[in-house]
Amino acid sequence: AQSVSQHNHHVILSEAASLELGCNYSYGGTVNLFWYVQYPGQHLQLLLKYFSGDPLVKGIKGFEAEFIKSKFSFNLRKPSVQWSDTAEYFCAGRDSGGYQKVTFGTGTKLQVIP
């Protein structure tokens, strides 16, 4: 089945550390990929998206992700995390061949220690 997978379930970092969260997808054709963040008690918010073009995508709050087709990956990065980045991060994807289903990965809980 077409899906996305996240390997890091719980990540603990100190403030100012660099972050990389892994995401792999299994769609065979053209894909749309997303990273969403869910802060405690808040709604899911879009961090960034990839549809086509430049494989290095910059999002809000200093996050970026790189689409590497040869590795079926779309990892999320941030050079220096803050305590306020503590949240659940979801990678999501869609087969862009007209199909409407956006599928979410299992999520990574990020805990940033001051």
Q: Scan for tokens 């990929």, then name that residue.
A: 33
Binding mask 66-105 for another protein (x = CB under 8 A): ------------------------x-x-x-x-x-xxxxxx
**H/E/C letters for each residue in 4-62?**
EECCCCEEEEECCCCEEECCEECCCCCEEEEEEEECCCCCEEEEEEECCCCCEEECHHH
Nearest approach in angstroms of CB 49 to another protein is 5
Among 34, 63, 67, 74, binds another protein (CB under 8 A): 34
46 in contact with another protein (CB under 8 A): yes
32 in contact with another protein (CB under 8 A): yes
Nearest approach in angstroms of CB 64 to another protein is 16
27: tokens are 């769609």
Q: Scan for tokens 């200093």, then name that residue.
A: 62
53 in contact with another protein (CB under 8 A): no
Q: How many CA atoms lie within 13 A of 17 on its CB side?
A: 16
Residues in contact with another protein by the rule CB under 8 A: 32, 34, 36, 42-46, 49, 51, 90, 92, 94, 96, 98, 100-107
